[in-house]
Amino acid sequence: MSFLPPKSALTGLTLVLTACVVGPVLAATASPQVIRSQTPISESEIVAAHQFGQTLSIAEWLGPMAPVALSPFFGITCLSGLSLFGGGWIAQGNPLIGGHSPLHNPAVFWTFLSLTILTSVPRLTKVSKPFAQAVDQMEAWSGIITMLVLKVMISSSSDVAEVTVPVAQMGLISMSSDAVLMLAAAINIFVINAVKFFFEVLIWLTPIPFLDAVFECCNKAICAALMVLYAWSPAAAATLNCCLFFVAMLIFGWAYRREIFFRTMLFDALRAALNPPKPDGTLVVFPVAAVGPIKARSKCTFRPTADGWTLTYEPWFRRAVSVAVPATSCLEIRSGFLSNQVTMTEPKAELTFSRLFNASLPELAAGLKVSLSHDPAANRAIKSEFA
């Protein structure tokens, strides 16, 4: 049985790990059904209570998203620790870290602490860090799913009568305030975590001993400090979170393209070591520099055509962009230590691709109708491969 593609494997592993993470939370919070008040409540009182709760929930909900994005498992561990051991100095009335929070359980705390240690120790050395980076996105999505489950559980346990107030409506689609806050939290964690991952890879490529351990310790210290600020003042934490999110958004597009590039190189290296697939006539590549309208390090598909080759970039919400490479262009495949490269002369460009097909490079070159370089001098240093 062949190895799963990266997206399928990541999705499966994420669901399994998330089940292991959220499971203790669900078990720990199982409690008898709350008896709701039978006293009639006027419509004005319901709206007033909903608006008041919504105002509080914005700060209480978005405040911890930045530290959770920086270190998902450790951030949730801190939230559980604050709920268990925070005492009277934390902000009163916060349902996320209060005495009735789903996180207020020792089993939850020790589960997330174990996951924190399991995912943090490999990041301390350059030898083991690639394995930790390969599962970093799985940790991020597990953190997102766990936080969303917590939001649903806390909202469903409210003593206020259930009222759905649409706050955003686009055509036939309407969204409640809870849905908007959950979407904002998911985007918040995703954006900040992506930028953090990019800088982690840069640290890993820097040939300075112990720098990875220093970066990881600083990341955990910042996460803990932000959680302390959140416990003291959710409003201040939410304001700082918005500032960090704004800064991350300024470089998100540039950093995210390189994040996809780094992750593809790491995942494909692992896949090639386990069960390398055979070439199928197409190749996933990443331009080193911009090629026409296609930006540098965009994930593209490279395939031969009747009159040359085609380089295609398919964004999520826009039409695909293609660049034609004429048959007169001279193409060559060069191998490297952690990645390979297709060089072309018309247009002059370099396309980086992973080591997924290194066991069958001649077949890959024949399928793409390009030549294969056997010159050892063409090999590049690691830093130049990831530039």
Contacts of 377 (CB under 8 A, 6+ apart): none
Q: What is the C-alpha to C-alpha distance for residues 99 and 352, in angstroms, rounded to an integer?
A: 52
Asked if the peptide bond before residue 347 counts as cis, ω within 30 degrees of 0, the response is yes
Q: Helix or strand or coil: residue 32?
A: coil
Residue-by-residue DSSP string for 59-92: HHHHTTHHHHHHSHHHHHHHHHHHHHH-GGGSPT
What letter represents residue 296's amino acid? A
Q: What is the C-alpha to C-alpha distance for residues 263 and 137, in angstroms, rounded to an integer?
A: 9
Residue-by-residue DSSP string for 40-62: ---HHHHHHHHHHHHHHHHHHHH
- Read off the pTM: 0.73
DSSP annotation of 157 reads T
Dihedral (Cα; 280, 286, 287, 288), 10-degree rounding: -130
Q: Helix or strand or coil: residue 366?
A: helix
Q: What is the C-alpha to C-alpha distance for residues 372 and 189, in angstroms, rounded to an integer?
A: 42
Token pair of 2 as six digits: 């062949």
In the predicted model, residues of the chain with pLDDT beneath 70 are 1-57, 91, 156-176, 374-387
| 373 in Cβ contact with 341 (< 8 Å) | no
Q: At how many degrees (to 10) do helices 136-156 and 72-85 cross?
A: 40
Residues 206-258: tens digit of each pLDDT: 888 889 999 999 999 999 999 999 998 899 999 999 999 999 999 999 998 98
Q: What is the C-alpha to C-alpha distance for residues 357 and 355, in angstroms, rounded to an integer?
A: 6
Residues 55-84: tens digit of each pLDDT: 446 888 899 999 999 999 999 999 999 988
Model pLDDT, residue 103: 87
Ranges of H-type helices in 176-295 = 177-205, 211-232, 234-274
| 332 in Cβ contact with 348 (< 8 Å) | no
Q: What is the C-alpha to C-alpha distance for residues 152 and 156, in angstroms, rounded to an integer?
A: 6
Which has the closest alpha carbon to 215: 71, 7, 12, 110? 71
Q: What is the C-alpha to C-alpha distance for residues 273 and 122, in angstroms, rounded to an integer?
A: 19
Q: What is the C-alpha to C-alpha distance for residues 193 and 133, in angstroms, rounded to an integer?
A: 12
Angle made by CA atoms 296, 348, 252, in degrees to the nearest 5: 5
Q: Helix or strand or coil: residue 355?
A: coil
Residue keyed to tokens 């007033």: 48
| 41 in Cβ contact with 48 (< 8 Å) | no
Q: How far apart are the first and last CA of the chain?
A: 35
Which has the closest alpha carbon to 184: 15, 65, 316? 65
